[in-house]
Chain A
Amino acid sequence: TQLLEQSPQFLSIQEGENLTVYCNSSSVFSSLQWYRQEPGEGPVLLVTVVTGGEVKKLKRLTFQFGDARKDSSLHITAAQPGDTGLYLCAVYDRGSTLGRLYFGRGTQLTVWP
């Protein structure tokens, strides 16, 4: 069973469209991170959300942490080809003996010109 479920797995849209991707879990987390991974590169941290209901904006990207701190969404307004990439959510799994980041499987976004 996946700790984090990301949906959709794939998303292909035209430039200028809006989109939302989701990261869901049945567990409660103290914080959640979103990464973007461009083709041929490693993941890069976009944002960390820590408070239930928190909304953070990064230019055209809006991140929201669910009130119950079990889920999160990423909304992109007026998508551009430069937004193309794999979007990963991750949580710090304090419950494991490893105390490590646990990643979802990601949403692969393609934005066509």
Chain B
Amino acid sequence: NAGVTQTPKFRVLKTGQSMTLLCAQDMNHEYMYWYRQDPGMGLRLIHYSVGEGTTAKGEVPDGYNVSRLKKQNFLLGLESAAPSQTSVYFCASGDRLETQYFGPGTRLLVL
């Protein structure tokens, strides 16, 4: 099993550009999450999903949208990137709310 994979690993965007981060898991988990990690701020939850076709806002959802069209995939979209969205983005999945497995991260730089 590959576990949780994230695409791309690294991306540079200009302010105003859009992009989609892809998270895929092969563990048949119901729950999936998107976090951002910034120095000194820890992991902050952006959006999450409790099942296929469902999404919900987390702690810092502004500027992001998500979709969960297939159980194994969770997409994070930035419609108009801003420098404040420069961060490392982690996807996680789990079969219980209190257990999460993390992907390797996507490093995003917005100029």
Using a CB–CB cutoff of 8 Å, the interface residues on chain A facing chain B are: 9, 31, 33, 40-45, 48, 88, 92, 98-101, 103-106
- Which of B14-22, B41-49, B69-77, B79-87 interfaces with chain A? B41-49
Q: Would you call the interface of chain B mostly helix, strand, loop, or mixed?
A: strand
A101 interface neighbour in B56, B98, B104, Cβ under 8 Å: B98
Chain B residues with a Cβ closer than 8 Å to the other chain, count: 21
- Chain B residues within 8 Å of A, Cβ to Cβ: 4, 33, 40-43, 45, 48, 56, 58, 90, 92, 97-105
Nearest-CB residue, chain B, relative to A30: B98
Q: Which of B48, B58, B99, B103 contacts A45 (CB 8 A)?
A: B99
Residue from A33, A92, A99, A100 whose CB has the most chain B CB atoms within 10 Å: A100
A99 to chain B, nearest CB (A): 5
A45 / chain B contacts, CB cutoff of 8 Å:
99-101
CB distance from A107 to the nearest CB of B (A): 11
Instruction: Give the CA-CA distance A48 to B98 in the complex, in Å.
Output: 10
* Minimum C-beta distance from B22 to chain A (A): 15
CB pair A99 B97 closer than 8 Å? yes
Decide: A88 near B43, CB < 8 A? Known: A42-B92, A98-B56, A100-B97: yes
**Given contacts A42-B102, A92-B98, A98-B48, could you give 13 more A-B pairs where the C-beta distance is less than 8 Å?**
A9-B40, A42-B90, A42-B105, A43-B102, A45-B100, A88-B42, A98-B56, A98-B58, A100-B33, A100-B58, A101-B45, A101-B97, A103-B43
Q: How far is the CB of A53 from chain B (nearest CB, A)?
A: 20
A105 in contact with B98 (CB, 8 Å): no
State in angstroms the CA–CA spacing of A104 and B104 once bound together. 19
Known contacts A42-B92, A92-B98, A100 near B104 by CB under 8 Å? no
Q: How far is the CB of A36 from chain B (nearest CB, A)?
A: 11
